[in-house]
Structure 1
Amino acid sequence: MNVIDSQPYELLIGQRWTAGSQGHTFDTLNPATGQVLAQVHEASEADVDAAVRAAHEAYEKYWRKTTPAERGRLLRRLAALFERDREKIAWIETLNVGKPITHSLDSLKAMPSSLEYFAGIIPAVRGETIPVGDNDVLNFTLREPLGVCALITPWNYPMTLTVNKLGPALAAGNTVILKPSEVTPLSAMALARLFEEAGFPPGVVNVVNGQGATVGERLVTHSLVSRVSFTGGTVTGARIQASTASDVKRVTLELGGKSPLIVFADAPLDKAVAVAAGDIIKNSGQVCIACTRLLVQESVRDEFLGQLQQRLDTVRVGSPSDAATEMGPLVSAAQKKRVEKYIQLAGDEGATPAVHGNLLLDNATQPGFFVRPTLLLNSHNRMQSAQDEIFGPVQSVIGFRDEADALRIANDSRYGLAAVLFTHDGGRALRMARGLQSGSVAINTGVRTSFDAPFGGYKQSGIGKERGLEAIYENTQLKNVKYDMGV
């Protein structure tokens, strides 16, 4: 299947696909081979300005005035087109991100349902009447769109995270400018074509590509942008929050994580092992909610590790185009270097790196950015390797004594995105769920994000919520109206 379009890929500004005004392009790579996959036009500041103006004009002229039924109809049409092209988009993600094709297909399975969900809950976005003390005053609220929203997505799950930002923003009546990661921009281009085909008015969805330091910075500081939604690293998120402070933009940040997986002695070890292994294998560990700290009660640590290492030894690491591959490469040479540097650091700190998996490469994939699954044995929670988000197939293994010790270690992190715990003790499970400083907690299962449930972190893992009805609220502003009926 030929899924790469004619090149260089252009920008979508208003109703036009156009080259960047300065004529600059950049390469995007296939991480499995290290080779250039496609060229993409890079937006200038003038291009960003044009995209924002197009979005603002579309918002003022017609999108804010569309009925909920009309917005819902367009989103449902988009969902049908996405389902039609899901396999093509999955292959684009496999080639551009490096995740195995089976994983790409599975991760996009829910995207049409996500769009249908946001189309369906539009009627729930409504105000209410308030029985205030003055009987002559009718007091009520209105929920209104914000205007132009800047959506900045990362490279690890470009399509999933794009759809989960676009759906609620458009459903609420906002127009958007999408800035995909410059590392993996290609699936966003395919999605933008579907918006055109679905019949969305010109300017409602715009796409600009380029570096965060230039294109992203201009976008988030633009005076006509009312809201910024960013998913990515905590350092960049903090910079965005600072950049938007001067004009008090609405900001949603979904940032880093160093999530704990807590295994008590009474846990179903086979289920805990499956979740731990899945988190290190899935997308080569490049998952914000992946449990990269394995907290195991000392009395079952050896048994748990024996089962986990046995599973990881069988992992097939290789070409993401092969349906038998379980784990592909990291997304870039820079990410591979970063992960390998942390593995070395862990060894210097006193941990014991244990490398697993079967690396199955051929001539084409030999130059790819592959790192095998690695457990950092004998870790403790104050090691830098156990505190920093590595974003690769690496997990620190840390022992604990009892419930209080587990909770202390789990919360001893600047992050608070997700947490997983395994125990048959219901009281303990609920005590831990209450005590864990985390936006999501999973008990006896892995953290499974869902388009119809809120998602967001505590502490430096972010602010605001995405997905679910809360995502619609993040994309609206509440107006209070008081009407004196006595006049």
Structure 2
Amino acid sequence: MTTTATAPQATVDTVETVPSFVMDAWWTPDAGSSASAVPVRDASTGEVLAKVSTEGLDLAAVVEYGRTTGQTELGKLTFHQRALKLKELAQYLNARREHFYNFSFQTGATKIDSMVDIDGGIGVLFTFGSKGRRELPNSQVVVDGPMEVLSKDGCFAGEHIYTRIPGVAVQINAFNFPVWGMLEKFAPAFLAGVPTIVKPATPTGYVAAAVVKAIVESNILPKGSLQLISGSVRGLLDVLDYRDLVAFTGSASTAKSLKSHPNVVEGGVRFTSETDSLNAAILGPDAVEGTPEFDAFVKSVVTEMTVKAGQKCTAIRRAIVPQELVPAVSAAIGKRIAERVVLGDPRGEGVTMGALASVEQLEDVRAAVQSMLDAGGELAYGTLDSPSVTSADGTTGVVDGGAFMAPVVLNWDNPEAEAIHSLEAFGPVSSVIGYKDLADAVRLAARGGGSLVASVCTNDPEAARELVTGIAAHHGRVLMLNREDARSSTGHGSPVPHLVHGGPGRAGGGEELGGIRSVLHHMQRTAIQGSPNMLTAVTGVWHTGADRNFTVETEGAHPFRKHLSTLRIGDAVRSDLRQVTLEDISAFANSTGDTFYAHTNQEAAEANPFFPGIVAHGYLLLSWAAGLFVEPAPGPVLANYGLENARFLTPVAAGDSIRVTLTAKKITPRETDEYGEVAWDAVLTNQNDEIVATYDVLTLVEK
């Protein structure tokens, strides 16, 4: 049955205002302010859902609340404690996904689109909850690199540390991912200990507000750590300064306007942006029809055109293929769209692609495509006419007020046409253009002026090497797609929290995500200088040259007899000397099978410029060192789980002696277990006090 559907008519006066959550309370404008309110509509039906306004909101007070209450409350927590709250929040939101899907459907997002947005955002929380505990100390300071000795006597040294910025992180998000866009910025800021003020885009901000409502109801986050502004934030940059950070996702024109604000240009406000991106996918010369790479390429292009109706900053806008394959690739893309894409209301049965976010967005995309057609593009598939779509009730027809657009594939006789490499139609639109050789493909990809992501689809390692090294500096991420990873790949357009999301040039020049890198974006790196004792006091990590407490000598207690509650940084033990004999070296060589000539052949060893003759195995020395420092009886030390940074510096010959000095270097209690990790600084010296070896011993110790 074919019909023309008309949306129910609601007005701004008859719907509620999307609330803001500021200063730990829900806020809406005073009654009577609807004249300035912006209506928000259902993308599929055109029905007015809500209104958005921030008239009367005191933005300076919002910022100050974050800088004071938010900073204070987050400052009470260590990295591990914040990470656990992210995990707890992820579990809470994960149990409520279906509730959020109902809001997401109104934006034109299908169930799959909603999963990418909502499940993807929750997944970011899980990832940072895990990485924060694995990769950060259970403290509030991150040490960046080794200590640099700055004086001959070792009493003056320096190193770098990261501490959180003292302001707020203002996060301005785009309309296409109201949940993921919010949580992918919030998670690293929270883990760093920096309060967030999130400003979602107006057309879909009600979805972000629904998630924030659940977050508030969970009562998991400290006060002031998350505030939501639903509506205009004009004037917000006026009240920011060098203490604050702005993370923007959206159009390049808006980013340019924000970056030109005096408080950014002169006032030191940190600004990072993720903007327009004419991403490319390159098909290798080997990936002809019938190969798995050809099929994977076509599937990837269609996926990127239709997920979120192509409204993705990472979508493939330019499919760059061998010029002789342009007709075949275009036809295969069109065929897959025709076979698999059902356009309509996401609440309708069988719908696989929804509407654009708004009628205004639809008009912008159609205008961009028309400009590309005027510049020499040709329709290889699709139309700019209003399509027939499936409604929520299963009927089909043109929907008045719905923001629906059919997928469009463009071909170009001239791959050099400026419009291909400068105009972005932010919807289900992609161009297929031909290249002559690999160097030409690299050049065409680079004409995007800097992009978030590119794909290289080939099973030829040499082609992959040439293409990736050629385009890498123009992109923030490159996916190499072939028959080996096509099934397990997360896809061209799916940023993962472990890796950097961002790109140079047109893409904004910023970085988001990237694991702990994105946490450090919210922190200040500072060079600190002082004595080893002062560096130890500031960082909570023992430094060479700082005081040691030889507990056996001063307290009669071996440090391995101490629980975490009594063990202190700098607690140490020093062993007696043990002599190494030729028989010891030979026995170790025979029992292990390590008969390297330096341990078994006097003449060959002497000929080696590094050895005086037969020398002890490094691993023999490490084994002996364990015997010299270990406390054998059962006690707080539960296990040895590794060594780090082992270096052998001075050879030990038969007749030499060694001793070990072991110092508690770093103590990391686990928040959820009755034990923690202790890193011990181990130094092996010989009878002349020359350093033989250095390394860190890692143990698990009861609290």
Asked if these proteins are the same fold (TM beyond 0.5), I'd say yes
Q: C-alpha distance in 2, partners of 1:439/1:63?
A: 31
Per-residue CA distance 1:396-448 (angstroms, 9 max, x = gap): 22111111111111111223221112122111111111111111111125423
> Are 1:176 and 1:204, in contact at CA under 8 Å, matched by a contact in 2?
yes
TM superposition outliers: structure 1 runs of 4+ over 6 Å: none
Letter in 1 for 2:221: F
The 3-state SS of whatever aligns with 1:318 is coil
Q: CA offset at residue 190 of structure 1?
A: 1.7
Corresponding residue of 1:54 = 65
- Point out the structure with max Rg over C-alpha: 2
Of residues 173, 190, 194 in structure 2, which corresponds to 1:153?
Answer: 173
Contact 2:122 2:180 (8 Å CA) reproduced: no
Maintained 8 Å contact 1:261/1:294: yes
Are the aligned partners of 2:343 and 2:351 in contact in 1 as well (CA < 8 Å)?
yes
More deviation, 159-168/445-454 = 445-454
Name the structure 1 match of 2:82: 71
Match of 1:233 in 2: 251
Pair 364,85 (structure 1): closer, same or farther in 2 beyond 3 Å: farther
Q: Secondary structure at the match of 2:85?
A: helix
In the alignment, which residue of structure 1 is the partner of 2:369? 343
Aligned to 1:401: 436
Distance in 2 (alpha carbons) for counterparts of 1:221 and 1:325:
46
Alignment partner, residue 442 of structure 1: 479
5+ residue gaps, structure 2: 1-14, 137-141, 288-292, 391-395, 535-703
Between 1 and 2, higher relative CO (CA 8 Å, sep ≥ 6) is seen in 1
Shift of 1:352: 1.2
Match of 1:162 among 170, 179, 182: 182
The root-mean-square deviation of aligned C-alpha atoms, in Å, is: 2.3
**TM-superposed deviation, 1:199:** 2.6
Q: 1:272 aligns with which of 282, 293, 297?
A: 297
Q: Which runs of 5+ in 1 are unaligned?
A: 1-5
Q: Which moved further from structure 2: 418-427 or 383-392?
A: 383-392
Query: How far has the Cα of 1:141 moved from its partner?
Result: 3.0
Corresponding residue to 1:28 among 40, 50, 55: 40
Question: AA paired with 2:509?
Answer: I
TM-superposition CA deviations, 1:266-305 (whole Å, max 9, x none): 1121111101111111111111111111111022222222
Residue 378 of structure 1 deviates from its aligned partner by 2.3
Looking at structure 1, the residues matched to 389 and 162 of structure 2 have their Cα atoms a distance apart, in angstroms, of: 54
Pairing of 1:96-115 with structure 2 (within 5 A): 97-115=107-125
Displacement after TM superposition at 1:255 (Å): 1.1
Contact kept, 8 Å, 1:7 with 1:39, in 2: the verdict is yes
* Structure 1 counterpart of 2:225, from 178, 193, 204: 204
**Does 2:146 match 1:117?**
no
Report the CA distance between 1:385 and its aligned residue: 4.6
- Structure 2 distance, partners of 1:303, 1:53, is 59
Q: Is the 8 A contact 1:220 1:240 kept in 2?
A: no
Matches within 5 A, 1:76-475: 76-95=87-106, 97-123=107-133, 124-125=135-136, 126-128=142-144, 129-134=146-151, 135-146=154-165, 147-196=167-216, 197-211=218-232, 215-219=233-237, 222-223=240-241, 226-243=244-261, 244-267=264-287, 268-314=293-339, 315-356=341-382, 359-361=388-390, 362=396, 365-379=399-413, 380-436=415-471, 437-444=474-481, 446-447=491-492, 448-467=494-513, 468-475=515-522
Paired amino acid for 1:204: S
Q: Distance in 2 between matches of 1:388 and 1:225?
A: 36
Secondary structure of 1:121's aligned partner: helix
Paired residues, number: 477
Q: TM-score, normalised by structure 2?
A: 0.65
1:397/1:354 CA distance change after superposition, 3 Å: same
1:45 deviates by 6.7
Look up the SS of the partner of 1:321 in the other structure: coil
Tell me how far apart the structure 2 counterparts of residues 30 and 235 of structure 1 sit (CA, whole Å): 26
CA distance in 2, matches of 1:16, 1:107: 26
- Percent of residue pairs identical: 23
2: CA distance, partners of 1:110 / 1:218: 29
Q: C-alpha separation between the residues in 2 aligned to 1:310 and 1:248? A: 52
**Larger helix share, 1 or 2:** 1
Q: Distance in 2 between matches of 1:56 and 1:224?
A: 12
Q: How far is 1:466 from its partner?
A: 1.1
Deviates more, 1:49-58 or 1:273-282: 49-58
